[in-house]
Structure 1
Amino acid sequence: MTSPNILILMVDQLNGTLFPDGPVDWLHAPNLKRLAAQSVRFANAYTASPLCAPGRASFMSGQLPSRTGVFDNAAEFASDIPTYAHHLRRAGYYTCLSGKMHFVGPDQLHGFEDRLTTDIYPADFGWTPDYRKPGERIDWWYHNMGSVTGAGVAETSNQMEYDDEVAYNATAKLYDLSRGKDDRPWCLTASFTHPHDPYVARRKYWDLYEDCDQLLPQVPAMDYDDHDPHAQRIFDANDWRNFDITEDNIRRARRAYFANISYLDDKIGEILQVLEDTRQEAVILFVSDHGDMLGERGLWFKMNFYDGSARVPLMISAPGLDPQRIDAPVSTLDVTPTLGALAGVPMDDIAPWTDGEDLTPLATGAERTSPVAMEYAAEGSYAPLVSLRYGKWKHNRCALDPDQLFNLDEDPHELINLADHPDHQGTLQTLRAKSEARWDLDSFDKNVRASQARRWIVYEALRQGGYFPWDYQPLQKASERYMRNHMDLNTLEENQRFPRGE
């Protein structure tokens, strides 16, 4: 079996309900629509944790946060946890990352042989929540509603600058790989930060949605007291009382978000065009780390198990997998074993290190009988929350809150909690038993609190005196670039050209 090249296209905070079968028709996303037409499209894919760092560590390792220890956006991703980059590199692949992965800690590679950019977020422990101080807001890094009230148009921003760099480096790397200097199969991950807030877009993309009829949520904002306890905690963490969110704010924020999907579509189109122009073939996987509530029920950003926050797009284009829609719930935890299967890595080498399942059998007619698991133990929570998606059901549990049980076939907006309904006690007890068999919430809580306490001590210590952060510094060997005097110019020009001799 020839090991295929693999191209992973990852985006940030892209709501999976906008991808029921590829991008919804009204999105201006021609490149993603073409990719969808040649892909297996998982209509009900879920993040392992609806926050950047824990979701991404779980995506890369196939392990839930309770196993990785990456509970929040400032928790270290330990260097001894195998990731898909390790598994593929061990199997003979060249592995490379262009863009964001929100690694925290001194290991900023986690199996990647090369990393082409720095990260957009800090790599230290400065964003650590503190369960010892419930309700405390850390204003300089917690989300607030300013992303909504400040939504609009700009021709450049912190995030645009970053994603422009991600795309440039990814295309440059694909050109370099086409030159054939390395005969290993490759896995290139291009990971963008859009459409993550702040909701700011370039005019050319903003104008695409001038007449969009999707600029208001389907479920209007609710009164604070009508929300479940965790949603109330998120409102408090987002400092909602200090902002007056108008209908115009909502329209502008959603419009910019949709515009940034179109911006990403252009960036992804650039990468796919280079792949085509250089005649390279690859398995292509498209995914997000988590979603965005986009004002549904009055909630924004993520940090909860509602589908807007927890459901993500997941599409795989690969030889032998017929393009189709699959409705069975799946997880980003499943990516690592699936990549291993597509690359021919023995499952025995991956299985001990993952909570996920290989998705290729689903694409060839098999059924999935196991539930999809999610965890959340970060900002806006006072104790860990866990969730199971099992068939049409979603069951959420937290030691601080009443259980939640939703029938997503009949109630896709999760407005009717059936946990106390007499007709559904059998389902509740079945799912609660599965949840209790998987999670000891008291032990989970103790582990989170111990991790937070350790990190607060270490961070405060390391900020005294000289500071040497872990932020990744991309290295360039200037003496190996372009033309230098230890090179033969004739050989150089021939080797750097693709295709040669045409």
Structure 2
Amino acid sequence: MNHKTDQQNILIVMTDQLTAKALGCYGHNEVISPNIDRIANQGVLFETAYSSSPLCAPGRYAFMTGQNISRCGGYDNAAYLPATMPTFAHYLRLMGYKTYLSGKMHFVGPDQLHGFEERVTTDIYPADFGWVPDWNNADQRIDLWYHNMSSVKQAGVAAITNQLSYDDEVGSRAVQVIYDYARSEDRRPLCLVASFIHPHDPYATRKKYWDLYEDTDISLPQVARPAAGRQDAHNRRLESAIGVDAVALSEQEIIDARRAYYGNVSYIDEWLGRLQDTLDECGMAKNTTIIFTSDHGDMLGEFGLWYKMSFREWSCRIPMIIYNPSRFKPRRVKQAVAHVDMLPTLVDIAAEGADADQPAPIDPLDGRSLLPLCSGNESGDTDRAISEYLAEGTSAPMLMIRQAQYKYISCPTDLDQLFDLERDPDEKNNLAADDAHSKDVRSFKDQAADHWDVDLIREKVITDQQRRRAVHSALTIGRYQGWDFNPALDPGEQYTRSHMDLTAFDVASRYPKPKPFKPKPFKRK
């Protein structure tokens, strides 16, 4: 056993654009993900977990800060997170943890650590203000970085891509972190975030994973694109934002895109297995809590839409699994939860076995700890998840509230939406105008009004967009100095160097430690 401390080690495996709707443990029978399914069956699976904002950086900012994006300012994929904003990495360091990040977190600005003591890769996306939307010109596409349909039209097999290169590094560096921690003398517990870009588009997967689905009957979307005039207002804006009508798609192209996506889910599943195997090799498996999740999902052709930016289930509903068989019995939790619940949950996990009291919240938190639900205690739980959207594809604040069987969506430019997900899991029937549900709609309207001032939020978002766009324009004139993270690497301290005691270094770098080497004193004959 490599128990350096009574506190739990924590491994967070975060994926990008992985919808809960495309995993076997959430009811999908086509995707091959045995490692994810195993921790789901042996751990605590949250059946009704949502992204706090269905876009990369906003979802991750909510995940890191425990705050909704309207509070922390994580509006879009070029949103600035101040260095003074506390994240769960800060809290865990206050509680004695060594915190590592391998992979993507989409931080924007000069602080690329935000509480992590070590970061072993750069990010895959830019750290500057180049991707700021413009709500004053919301109908205008920004072709430099907006999604388009190339990912679907070009779906298939690739030996290597930008994303595969990145995730190969993320996974191997995360494995190395576990090895380095196991053989180090550091007594602090470990929190490692291994954050992968897959199965995010482009939908290109290695032949190994493509071939896994050779005998699988890949289904078409459950809900086809509605006829002209029947798509709801937000979906129509997303059609324009991703350029759906710029191409014609065949059924085979849709199937190929889904097949490649599923292949990349299997690729991520393989990395999860390798990380678990490494924990086991290093005697850390029983004392490590694993959390598996994603920043948001992917529409995968449902309603004719692709990628994210939607509150529909395929885009907004995420996997969330907490796995620690020595601490929690297998359980499926029905209560609605969201990314903002992760910070208080991690603080509670870290508090078990800690010598000192857990720190009080530095800033107000919008989430609650999920540990009571992990133990089956539902008493007093809100059973509510909130998601906000303040980026491209809209010109006004959008809000989703999931409570009990209902999902409510509001935006001042659109008609309200209300779906009964128990009776209508595909979200085909909007009940907002149904007299039989007028009380439900009124209740949700009141909750939305209590949650935020729509006009004030819109004004704050536009002002912030304008400021960042102006700053970015200035910084592109003359010498450009980026904020992209440069991992520290000192070749003079790697492997074997002449200033090191060779035998001592070889022993120190080995796990488990070898038997002591005690040669007899050398005497010249």
TM-score range, shorter chain: over 0.9
> Which of 43, 47, 53 is the aligned partner of 2:47?
43
Deviations 1:440-460 (A, max 9, x none): 101110010000000110000
Separation of aligned partners in 2, 1:224 and 1:108: 45
Instruction: Give the aligned partner of residue 323 of structure 1.
Output: 330
CA contact (8 A) 1:22 1:32 kept: no
Deviations 1:115-147 (A, max 9, x none): 000000001000000011121001010001111
Residues 1:308 and 2:350 are matched in the alignment: no
Question: What is the aligned residue count?
Answer: 502
Instruction: Give the aligned partner of residue 339 of structure 1.
Output: 346
> CA shift at 1:25, angstroms?
4.3
CA contact (8 A) 1:75 1:128 kept: yes
Instruction: Give the aligned partner of residue 468 of structure 2.
Output: 455
CA contact (8 A) 2:153 2:253 kept: yes
Which 5+ residue runs of structure 1 have no aligned equivalent?
A: none
> Which of 69, 85, 88 is the aligned partner of 2:89?
85
- AA aligned opposite 1:222: P
Separation of aligned partners in 1, 2:462 and 2:137: 11
Separation of aligned partners in 1, 2:294 and 2:27: 13
Structure 1 length as normaliser, TM-score? 0.97
> CA shift at 1:381, angstroms?
1.0
CA contact (8 A) 1:340 1:350 kept: no
Deviations 1:275-320 (A, max 9, x none): 1111113110000000001001111101010010000000001342
Instruction: Give the aligned partner of residue 275 of structure 2.
Output: 271
Residues 1:362 and 2:373 are matched in the alignment: yes
CA contact (8 A) 1:29 1:261 kept: yes
Residues 1:289 and 2:295 are matched in the alignment: yes
Greater shift after overlay, 59-68 or 477-486?
A: 477-486
> CA shift at 1:497, angstroms?
0.8
Instruction: Give the aligned partner of residue 161 of structure 1.
Output: 165
- AA aligned opposite 1:473: N
Moved over 6 A (4+): none
Instruction: Give the aligned partner of residue 7 of structure 1.
Output: 11
Instruction: Tell me the C-alpha RMSD between the 2 structures.
Output: 1.4
Separation of aligned partners in 1, 2:334 and 2:250: 36
Instruction: Give the aligned partner of residue 259 of structure 2.
Output: 255
- Mapping 1:381-400, distance limit 5 Å: 381-400=394-413
> Which of 189, 192, 200 is the aligned partner of 1:196?
200
Which 5+ residue runs of structure 2 have no aligned equivalent?
A: 516-525
Residues 1:143 and 2:147 are matched in the alignment: yes
> CA shift at 1:347, angstroms?
6.1
Separation of aligned partners in 2, 1:313 and 1:225: 33
Instruction: Give the aligned partner of residue 231 of structure 1.
Output: 235
Deviations 1:158-181 (A, max 9, x none): 000000000110011111111032
Assess, with a 3 A threshold, how the Cα gap between structure 1 residues 323 and 403 changes in structure 2: closer, same or farther.
Answer: same
> CA shift at 1:213, angstroms?
2.5
Separation of aligned partners in 2, 1:90 and 1:20: 38
> CA shift at 1:245, angstroms?
1.3
Greater shift after overlay, 451-460 or 352-361?
A: 352-361
State the SS of the aligned residue for 2:197.
Answer: strand
> CA shift at 1:38, angstroms?
2.1
CA contact (8 A) 1:386 1:397 kept: yes
Instruction: Give the aligned partner of residue 364 of structure 2.
Output: 353
State the SS of the aligned residue for 2:191.
Answer: strand
CA contact (8 A) 1:215 1:250 kept: no
CA contact (8 A) 2:24 2:32 kept: no
> CA shift at 1:424, angstroms?
0.3
State the SS of the aligned residue for 2:135.
Answer: coil
Deviations 1:302-350 (A, max 9, x none): 1010010000000001342211111111111111110110110856623
Separation of aligned partners in 2, 1:347 and 1:476: 33
Greater shift after overlay, 73-82 or 190-199?
A: 73-82
CA contact (8 A) 1:103 1:123 kept: yes
> Which of 425, 428, 434 is the aligned partner of 1:415?
428
Separation of aligned partners in 1, 2:96 and 2:320: 26
CA contact (8 A) 1:10 1:286 kept: yes
CA contact (8 A) 1:12 1:289 kept: yes
Greater shift after overlay, 247-256 or 212-221?
A: 212-221
Q: Percent identity?
A: 46
Separation of aligned partners in 1, 2:359 and 2:432: 39
Assess, with a 3 A threshold, how the Cα gap between structure 1 residues 20 and 266 changes in structure 2: closer, same or farther.
Answer: closer
CA contact (8 A) 1:6 1:187 kept: yes
CA contact (8 A) 1:23 1:29 kept: no
> Which of 482, 487, 491 is the aligned partner of 2:495?
482
Separation of aligned partners in 2, 1:114 and 1:370: 36
Deviations 1:387-431 (A, max 9, x none): 110111111111111111111111111111111001000011011
